[in-house]
Every structure is written in structure tokens, then in C-alpha cells.
Amino acid sequence: MWEYTEKVKDHFLHPRNVGEIENPDGIGEVGSMACGDALRLTFKLDANKRISDVRFKTFGCASAIASSSALTEIIKGMTLEEASKVTNKDIANYLGGLPEAKMHCSVMGREALQAAIDYYHGIKPEQKKMLEGKIVCECFGVTEKEIRDAIKINHLTTVDEVTNYTKAGGGCGKCHDEIAAIIKKVFLEASDEAKKERSETQFDLLTNIQKINKLTEFLNAKIRPTLKRDGGDLELIDLDNNIVFIKLEGACAGCIGAASTMKDFIEHKLNAELSPKLKVKQI
């Protein structure tokens, strides 16, 4: 027996907005008979481009029906831009939570909504699948993009969790290694970003003298060797309000590419590795 919240039971026993709109502005279909659940979502926009009516038809278990019903209640009255920001987490939260093994029901709701919005914008589902890259799970037709999104939004860390949220890996199990590799990749990317953020904030927290020391160290290690290879060099003159005053020397001093060296090379590097707030000025 699944542990469903009262809200899930209510939306399952008394689903809202069941049906289909004739001549809809948006229509989204996801899932299949083989997958064990499927959802068809249709919506109509009013004069202000807000969702005035939305209907669903769902084949699936109690939580699939409740998730579809909840989704229609959430997006009613929203613009498409607002609706496209609704995540599977919003659907699950609206229902007071879903059992872990049933989270894929909320993801299906989210996917149907995206498909309906894409339909409105004239993007066909086949094009979409092609844009989203290759299918990782053949049994349930789940793409790498779908898996990545679920990992990022719901902070998933194991293959089992990915299966609970996307169904990927729930069939023959051949793709388990690939899913594990995707989890690792997403985790590494996230930690790289976090590292970058950390170094940025760290630099911004330093005193001005510490900043100048750090800058000198950075220029000596990462910038000057490159310039020197072309017979040039630079000197750090000052740092004031995140503006780095630099004097170009040697071959660089009279070079016509000096301005772009400053902006594209030095400033870019400083922004990426020390702080995005830094600007470079040549004197």
C-alpha cells in the first residue's frame, strides 16, 4: 500500500479539470501504454494570453491522476512564461508530497505541460526529442536532457532515485552505468560552478592590499608568461573600486591589438578566476 497524502487521495478520488478542450491553443502528450502511464493535456489562452481553461486525461495510477489534476489547478490563470517555470517539485509540493517511487508521476505532469507550451510555440515533439539529445533509457524512451533536469532540480544522487523520478533504468537495467555516469557529470559540473562562486566571493571579501597581492600573484602566474612569449609584458599600477589599472610594456605597449588583449584576454581571465566584478583599464 502506498502512503498517499490526503491531498493526493482527494485529487485522485475527485480529479479536477478532467477532459479535453476542442481546438486548444496547446496540446501535450507524454507517456505510453507500455510505460504504464500517459497524459494528454490541453489548454486555451484568453485575450491576455493567460491560461483560461486547461483539461487532462490520464492513464495511470492514483498519483499519476492526482499529479495531473494538481498541475491543472496550479497553471490555471498563469501566462505561458509563468507556467513554464512550474517544476515537478511544485506539483509534488502542491499535493503535500509524493512517495519517492512515485515522483515520476509529477515529472510526467511537468513534461506534458512543456510539450503543450512547445506545441503553442510551434515546436513539434519529434524536433524536441532530437534537440534533447540521445535516448539513454530505451525501455521508457528517456533522454539525457530529461535525466539531467531531474537530477538538477531534485538533487538526485543515485541511479535508484533517477529511476523513481524519470523511470529511466526501470526496465531492462542496461543503462544503469550510463545513468551513473550522467549523475557524476552533473555533480562535477555543479561542484565546478560552486568552486567558481567560492573563489569569487573569497576575492571580494579581501582587503584592498590583500586583493593587490592576489592580483599580482595571479598576473605573474597566468598572464605575464603568455605576454612574454610575444615579447611583451605588463605592470600592475593600481586597484581602485574593482578597476584594475594596468600598464602594458615591451612589444605590447605599441601593439594595435592591445585593447583587445586587455578586454578579451586579461579581463576575461580575471572575471572567470577571481571576480566577475573586475574591470581592466589601460594606462
Which chain residues interact with other proteins by CB under 8 A? 2, 12-13, 15, 18, 29, 33-40, 57-62, 64-65, 101-102, 139-140, 163, 167, 170-171
User: Which secondary-structure segment (H or E) carries 145?
Assistant: helix 144-154
* Catalytic-labelled residue, pool 35, 137, 175, 252: 35
Q: Are 206 and 200 in contact (CB under 8 A)?
A: no
Q: Is 61 a catalytic residue?
A: no
Which residue type sits at 206?
A: L
**Looking at residue 136, what DSSP letter applies?**
E
Least distance CB 108 / other proteins (angstroms): 12
Least distance CB 77 / other proteins (angstroms): 23
* Catalytic-labelled residue, pool 61, 105, 139, 252: 105
Nearer to other proteins, 65 or 147 (CB): 65
Nearer to other proteins, 31 or 232 (CB): 31
d(CA 92, CA 74): 11
User: Which secondary-structure segment (H or E) carries 225?
Assistant: helix 224-229
Cell numbers 573563489 correspond to 199
Start-to-end CA span in the chain (Å): 74
Least distance CB 97 / other proteins (angstroms): 17
**Closest C-alpha among 170, 174, 167, 177 to residue 146:** 167
Nearer to other proteins, 27 or 206 (CB): 27
Q: Is 105 a catalytic residue?
A: yes
Least distance CB 189 / other proteins (angstroms): 28
Catalytic positions, please? 35, 105
